[in-house]
Structure 1
Amino acid sequence: MNSPQPQTGTNIGEYSVSEISGALKRMVEDTFGHVRVRGEISGYRGPHSSGHAYFALKDERARIEAVIWKGTFSRLRFKPEEGMEVIATGKLTTYPGSSKYQIVIESIEPAGAGALMALLEERRKKLAAEGLFDAGRKQLIPHMPKVVGVVTSPTGAVIRDIIHRITDRFPLHVIVWPVRVQGETTGAEVSAAVAGFNALPEGGPIPRPDVLIVARGGGSLEDLWGFNDEAVVRAVADSDIPVISAVGHETDWTLIDHAADIRAPTPTGAAEMAVPVRAELESTLASLGARLKGCISRSSERKRERLRACARALPSADQLLAMPRRRFDEAASRLDRGFSVLVERRKARLQKARLSPATLQQRVAEARRRLEREADQLPKCARAFLRNRRNDLDRRGARLRLEPIETRSRNARERLAGLAGRKDRAVDVRGRHWRERLFAASRMLGSLSYTNVLARGYALVRDEAGLPVTRGDAVKPGDRLAIQFADRSVDALAAKSKPSSGTAARPPSPPQGGQGTLL
């Protein structure tokens, strides 16, 4: 520092503004080398366009300006957030351009677990409000995956435990995506790994996993903080591949546990959830195979027994043909009698159909009038008919062979005679059949008639409306009844009924005179 120039009339030294600012800067930097400052972030609006971040730390009584240079900001484990209480480590310095002192922050961390928990709870509520933790988004874990993808550190004990457990239970293809599981780059690397597994195509050179395991060993809240990163939670929630979260021990919880499809208490538990036990599957298949063979054997035996039972129940050929043979014999015996009866009926009908001279004259007159009416139209109809016939004969003449009229007439007469005989035989057989059925029905009606019951000593009681009385409770004293016996009906008047007892009641003596009552 230059020696101050004395002023006239005073011995106070004279300094320039730059000299004062420089002296203060050196004094502050020499006195406060590295300090740890606890305070609440105020005025943070994110990094500047230059990459530096400017804000302030304050408490209830004071405020200090703070700056984080671009290179330091990119290496921070925790990013600053407005209103967050932090502990900042750095150097105090001054800014001569505005006569302010400030702290140049080299590292920053939340002020204790309470602040971390508050930040974690706030982030959890925000992501839950977006629906990233909804149960409807979660997928089912495949029962027997072919490929398992693991996102973890390739050098820790976690990956060895997972591979060892999968090998013991069900050996299959395991793909490891190496990431850092602690530090400021954990969130970015884990989210990139989950997105990378989902980007693998089906049938590509690298097989696409059927299930993902995101795993890390236990640790403090700060050690597991990378798995509370918002990018990790969104990547897991958007994954098309089911994700098993295995971060920390059973008592450790992170936000990725809420977004994953299922949470495992430990990385070893995640391996057990991902794959079944091969020996148990083989035992189950063997048991099911044995049950299937037994079921098939029992079913075949039951069907075989049913077939033998059905074969025993089937009638023999003689039994099946016995009734048709009998009906054929009976029909053959009736055929001769039916033919004789038919001839007699035809003779009688022919005798009744003899013509008289009056009837013949009447028919001739009617035929003459009909011929006279049709005579006028005959030439025109004949011409049209001949023209149509001629055209039709011209079309078909080449392929049709005309038979003599005598042959066609003889064939027609033969067919007509055959049909007439068949008709008479059918009518006779049908009448005999209906007579037999009528006779059988009349015999059945006689056997089922209630009059046969009355003939055995029973009686039918009817009320005034003529309806049958079936129960004694329906008869009241003074009711008029009609009792029908086998030969005739008798009118009666109901008297007072007596209660029934264990011994047979003595029938009352009929009153003197008149017909009397029977009840």
Structure 2
Amino acid sequence: MSDLIDDPEPGENAPEFSVSELSGAIKRVIEGEFGHVRVRGELGRIARPRSGHIYLDLKDDRSVLSGVIWKGVASRLSVQPEEGMEVVATGRLTTFGGQSRYQIVIEDIKPAGVGALMAMLEKRKKALEAEGLFAADRKRPLPYLPEIIGVVTSPSGAVIRDILHRLRERFPRKVLIWPVAVQGERCAPEVVRAIHGFNAMTPGGPLPRPDLIIVARGGGSVEDLWGFNDEAVVRAAADSDIPLISAVGHETDTTLIDFASDKRAPTPTAAAELAVPVRLDLLAWLDKQAARLSQAQGNAIGLRGQRLRDLARALPRVETLLDTPRQRFDTWAERLPAALIRTVQMRRVALSERAGALRPSLLRRAVEGDRRRLRDTAARLNTRALTREIDQRKRDLDRLTIRFSDAANRQVQGWRERMETLDRLRETLGYKATLRRGYAVVRGDGSLVTTRDAAAMAAMLEIEFADGILGVGADAEMPRKPVKPAARPKDPPEDQGSLF
């Protein structure tokens, strides 16, 4: 047994550590030797869990360093980390014993120079352009003369004073100012809230909705203007229902909001010039248009007057138009009396010719002859017509007699059948049939008796049976036969004619 156990080598009396003790010692050494460090590298994997923290990798061509940005620090960063960006991270080194690794807890992160910012800006621009946010068909025309202008800028800078001064010079309008931070970490979220807030206003409400929005800022470095390159700001400008003018920086400065806005102005002062026209120019233009209108009206009236005079010269005079009709009238007036005299003479001759044949004796003979022919014709016509009428009436009377006789016979037969039915019903329901079944009718002193007391009080009783009446009492008579009902009249013989 002792042979299987090796003897300890000399010098192997070093202390033994647990895993946690060793991990803690390493952590103290690293945190003690490396307090705050600045590390330059390229951002690799970036993870954003629901906790709000950011986990990322810093790498170069040979090594990888894990990093973490806690939620409170991540919300204050001026530039959000993106994969592939070259940055300078400031923080402290520590270890994570659960996975036996060391990492840097980042407290600040900045792009490694202007070149990195521009590369990231170009990458973001291409991504947003691919989505169509910069397309020309999305841009809306600016209102010619907006009633209310909303300005998104810092209320304390020179930009708002320049805009108000230029608006007052050109065409005074109502201005709503939404104060925002124009640089730093608060710039992008405040600009987004301002654009959304102006769009959420109600037209005609207590605080009226503006007809035009101006997002303005003075010049500065790329880092100063970086808030206007934020993706959220670009999307808010592209989604705005109110036309938007971007006036960020000077003429040489370009931000992503310039591509998403409906109009880019090189300076805030130029944005005010784009927003409204010059009032004096409008008044001069109106005066010019009024003068042109008056001149056009005068020219039109002059041309029409000249045209009327030209047409008037081509028309004949009124006196000339009436000369020929007047002469024709005089000619016919001279010829009319002679024409009337000739017409009367011709009519008189024609009347004399026709009156010669109209002697009274001839007229009387003609009238008498016509009267005789008329009487003969009327007599012939009346005799024939009356004969035809009488024959037709006879035929109609015969048809009616036959139809009426048939109807009367059917009606009489119906009445006969109904009377027989009623008679049978009477015999069935009458008391005579009841008497034949063994019952009797008792009458006392001429009244019907239905109780024993009434029968005892009666002086004389008559009991009617089916075969006769029996009297009971002092004054009772001999039994009498029941009275037979009167016989029904017999039907007329079949050969008896109908009265109809």
Q: TM-score range by the shorter chain?
A: 0.5 to 0.7
Q: Does 1:81 align with 2:82?
A: yes
Alignment of 1:275-354 (within 5 A): 275-303=276-304, 318-336=319-337, 340=342, 344=346
Which stretches in structure 2 are left out of the alignment for 5+ residues? 1-7, 358-365, 390-500
How many residues are treated as equivalent by the alignment?
Answer: 370
Give the share of equivalent positions with the same residue, in percent.
Answer: 57
Runs of 4+ in structure 1 over 6 Å off: 6-9, 308-314, 345-352, 376-380
The verdict on how the C-alpha distance between 1:308 and 1:104 changes in structure 2, with shifts beyond 3 A counting, is same
Q: Which residue of 2 aligns with 1:227?
A: 228
Quote the offset at 1:136 in angstroms.
Answer: 1.6
1:46-445 to structure 2, matched below 5 A, reads 46=48, 48-303=49-304, 318-336=319-337, 340=342, 344=346
Aligned mates of 2:384, 2:99 — CA distance in 1:
137
Unaligned runs of 5+ in 1: 1-5, 384-519
Judging changes above 3 Å, is the alpha-carbon distance between structure 1 residues 91 and 308 closer, same or farther for their aligned structure 2 residues? Answer: same
Q: Deviations over 1:221-246 (max 9, x none)?
A: 22211111122112212222221111
State how far apart, in whole Å, the 2-side matches of 1:104 and 1:18 are: 21
Q: Secondary structure at the match of 2:129?
A: helix
Which moved further from structure 2: 147-156 or 136-145? 136-145
Whole-angstrom CA distance in 2 between matches of 1:175 and 1:13? 75
Q: TM-score, normalised by structure 2?
A: 0.65
Offset at 1:288? 2.6
Structure 1 vs Structure 2 CA RMSD: 3.8
**Alignment partner of 2:42 out of 12, 37, 40:** 40
Task: Map residues 3-42 of structure 1 onto 2, 5 A cutoff.
Answer: 10-42=12-44
Whole-angstrom distance in 2 between the partners of 1:351 and 1:187: 127
Higher gyration radius (CA): 2
AA matched with 1:121: E
Q: Which amino acid aligns with 2:323?
A: A
Give the Å deviation of 1:110: 2.3
Q: How many angstroms apart in 2 are the aligned matches of 1:325 and 1:189?
A: 98
- Identify if the C-alpha distance between structure 1 residues 88 and 64 changes in structure 2 by more than 3 Å, giving closer, same or farther: same
Q: 1:192 to 1:7 in 2, by over 3 A?
A: farther
Quote the Cα distance in structure 1 between the aligned partners of 2:209 and 2:171.
18
Q: Secondary structure at the match of 2:47?
A: coil
Partner amino acid, structure 1, of 2:239: D
Amino acid at match of 1:61: R
Moved more, 64-73 or 199-208: 199-208
Distance 1:335 1:11, change over 3 A: same
Q: Residue 69 of structure 2 aligns to which amino acid in structure 1?
A: I
The one-letter amino acid paired with 1:74 is S
Superimposed CA distance per residue, residues 1-33 of structure 1 (whole angstroms, 9 cap, x where no aligned partner):
xxxxx9997332322322221221111112111
Query: One-letter code of the match for 2:54?
Result: A
* Post-superposition offset of 1:74: 1.1
Which 10-residue stretch deviates more, 10-19 or 156-165? 10-19
In structure 2, the CA distance between the partners of 1:248 and 1:378, relative to structure 1 (3 Å rule), is farther
SS at the partner of 1:40?
strand
Letter in 2 for 1:15: F
Question: What amino acid does structure 2 have at the position aligned with 1:115?
Answer: A
Distance 1:338 1:7 in 2: 177
